[in-house]
Chain A
Amino acid sequence: MDINAFKEVFAAEARDYLQSLNEDLLSFENDPANRATLDEMFRAAHSLKGMAGTMGFDELAEFTHEMESVLDLLRTGELMAQPDVINVLFRSVDTLEILLEQTINEEPISSFREQLAALETLVSGHATLNSSEVEFSANLAMELDEFNRETIKQGLDLGYNAYTVIITLRDNTILKSVRVYTVFQAVEEVATIIQSNPSAQDLEDEKFDNQFGLIILTKESSDAMQELIEGISEIESADVSELSLDGSAGPATVAPAVESSAEIAASSTERRGTLPIRTQRQEALVRVETERLDKLINLVGELVISRTQVVEMTKEDENSDQKSALAQLDRVTTELQYAAMSLRMVPIKQVFDRFPRMVRDLAQSSKKEINLEIFGEMTELDRSIVNQIGDPLVHLIRNSIDHGLEPRQERVAKGKPPTGTIRLGARHEGSHILIEISDDGQGLNLERIRTKGIERGLLTTDSGEITVREAVDLLFHPGFSTAEEVTDLSGRGVGLDAVKATVESLSGTIDLESVPGQSLRTIIKLPLTLAIIKALLVVVDGETLAIPIQAVRENIQIERSQIKTVQQHDVILLRNEVLPLYDLAAVLGFRRLDSKGPLPVIIVEIRGQKVGFIVEDLIGQQEIVIKSLSGIVSDIRGIAGATVLGNGNVALILDNSTLIR
């Protein structure tokens, strides 16, 4: 079958299982007595194995098989949930994740053997001994004992037929013993099985090659018996012959080959009992490719624009029928737009889900006791933001653990609870989402930040004590931290400027609050969606441009005479602050304006620095639908995309972060 067509479904479902494995493992570690969690994990591994096998992903199937075995031993109680066992499982989930992604992306498979061996050790350390040491005789001629001989004789007297049946299974038969069972089931509907060779027990233990013999009594003809048995799956042939009671059982000599002990050992790990039931299942969900979703959203965007055009064109019309029809079109389009936007929204849970595991690992390696509290994980925001906000959050949480939370003893000495707490949460506020990360660690170390600020030349040597506010500003300053200090800095604020840059590229803002010695709180404010933004429309060289409002601080008017020059660069003085001044036309390579009158200037914040841009004219604020540019115009410095305005004209959207160097 063409398996590649199913790869996407496989990938999506497999990732879900992996995620639930990770989550369940965390709760299992906290509550090893919880049978339901264990069952859930077992089921996840089991399903993954089946899916991987079907796709022909042998490494994945092999690995998940071993995980399943370990989980089963835990279920049966043969293996205890010791910390080392749980750690092996955690690492296995990590390995599995890598293995899965490499398999899906058809990348070379990196080494997973070591981790596989770790799992195998857990399994083999607890393998039952009885099955691997069985020997059995190779010569198994079917000899009738006195009792069976008597039974057959009576049967023949009553008009039954006695047959010897030699049944051959196909070479690659899976679960041979179960196949034998189906044969027995079918045969016993019309016949009595007097004897089998090998014995029923050996057949069940799969101690035979691919042939076995039966002696049966039946009223059916030999042809009917043959047809019946050959009608069963995986049966190569069934030779049915009359049994004569003279001497031994004639052709009923079947010599099964001895199977490798490995195979026998493998069958010893068969499990008993019914399987658990997965408790929660997401129903009423349809998986849709994101590409199709994006296309729909794009088309709705186009529709919204056309609607605006139509409404604008007929503004002066007096026809009231037309007016009410247009009003209806307007309403429906707006609703459709909201509905389409909601398709882009996903719960932030997708990002938060990775943190319990990360915090657990970091807590273990840093030997701190940490309690992670998560709230508001169902808060929804734009999918593209969700995809990008993960790394900054990782950064902030790592900071909290590495530099914020104190070791147990230090906390006790300070009179704090021995276990540190990190709170991570999200909530909606207007058209924004607020993400908060707080910890009850040592907060900002003002003195250390001051010293470092002086070292970096950001503060003068004679500057006295700094406030929390000033410390925060320093932390976000691009020149404050450098890469080589990531590991040895024990204060706060490693690479916070990088976090800030990411947040700002998502049209968001970030702020820190701290009570030194007690707490630190980071608040990230993000727009709900990136598809529609508020923008300030300006005119430069006759062209309309859109500046995302997020970055705009204010608009002012200046006279030419107010422009000063510092080190050959234009600046203006605004409330005692010296701001670099650019002519937007010059920055973009447009024609400069040479007017004598007052100049409109937009003050924009770029990487924490306020900058003034001279423009030709201001139009006003408007909500715009962002269209990304593609092809050769996809990567132009200073341009983030384009939008179609109500009058049908195209306006370029400025990308503040890359506008000037």
Chain B
Amino acid sequence: MAKTVLITDDTAFMRMTLRNVIEKNGYKVVGEAGDGEEAIALYKELNPDLVTMDITMPKMDGITAIKEIMKVDPNAKIIVCSAMGQKPMVIEALSAGAKDFLVKPFESERVVESLRKISS
């Protein structure tokens, strides 16, 4: 069975590109969230195997969302997505429970490697 993924990013463009890469590599995108609050709600509803989480988002940022999701499911596998120059926030996200990180612009190989490694 294909692993299920929830994508979280506030820009539709980034969600689209990520979905494209993820689905081409045998994973199933079960949901897309546009902000942290949506991500938490969708996580509870869909219980995905993997989550990608943008940091900078409206309503609720990714770090807060990671903390909340970890409360719901301490085994959640979350990959935090950041842009260059957000190092302190990536570290904060990792210490909040994210299992790996990706830096924009995404390279397909890195995305796939990350998905593969944290889901194994």
| Stretch of A154-162, A277-285, A526-534, A564-572 contacting B (4+ beta carbons < 8 Å) | A277-285
B101 and A178 within 8 A (CB):
yes
Known: A9-B16, A279-B58. A231 touches B117 (CB 8 A): yes
B101 and A6 within 8 A (CB):
no
B61 at the interface (CB under 8 A from A): yes
Chain B nearest CB, measured from A272 CB (Å): 5
Known: A1-B17, A234-B110, A271-B86. A178 touches B91 (CB 8 A): yes
| Stretch of A43-51, A296-304, A503-511 contacting B (4+ beta carbons < 8 Å) | A43-51
A178 and B90 within 8 A (CB):
yes
B83 CB contacts on chain A under 8 angstroms: 46, 49-50, 53
Contact with A along B83-95 (1 / 0, CB 8 A): 1111111110011
Interface size of A in residues (CB-CB distance below 8 Å): 46
**Which of B14, B57, B59, B94 meets A51, CB within 8 Å?**
B14
B82 CB contacts on chain A under 8 angstroms: 175
**Which of B13, B84, B106 meets A65, CB within 8 Å?**
B84
B94 and A274 within 8 A (CB):
no
A5 to B13, CA, bound (A): 11
B114 at the interface (CB under 8 A from A): yes
A234 to B34, CA, bound (A): 28
A181 CB contacts on chain B under 8 angstroms: 91, 94
A633 at the interface (CB under 8 A from B): no
B100 at the interface (CB under 8 A from A): yes
B110 CB contacts on chain A under 8 angstroms: 233-234
A321 CB contacts on chain B under 8 angstroms: none
B74 at the interface (CB under 8 A from A): no
Q: Which of B8-37 contact A (CB under 8 A)?
A: 10-14, 16-17, 20-21, 24, 34-35
**New A-B pairs, 6, CB < 8 Å, besides A13-B11, A181-B91:** A5-B20, A68-B85, A233-B117, A269-B85, A270-B85, A277-B58
Chain B contact residues, CB within 8 Å of chain A:
10-14, 16-17, 20-21, 24, 34-35, 55-61, 63, 82-91, 94-95, 100-101, 103-106, 108, 110, 113-114, 117-118, 120
30 contacts between A and B (CB under 8 A): A1-B17, A1-B108, A2-B20, A5-B20, A9-B12, A9-B13, A13-B11, A46-B56, A47-B11, A50-B83, A53-B84, A53-B105, A54-B105, A56-B105, A175-B82, A175-B84, A178-B87, A178-B90, A181-B94, A231-B117, A233-B113, A233-B118, A270-B88, A272-B88, A275-B56, A275-B61, A277-B57, A278-B57, A281-B10, A281-B59
**A-B residue pairs, 8 tightest by C-beta:** A53-B105, A278-B58, A54-B105, A50-B104, A275-B56, A174-B103, A50-B83, A233-B114
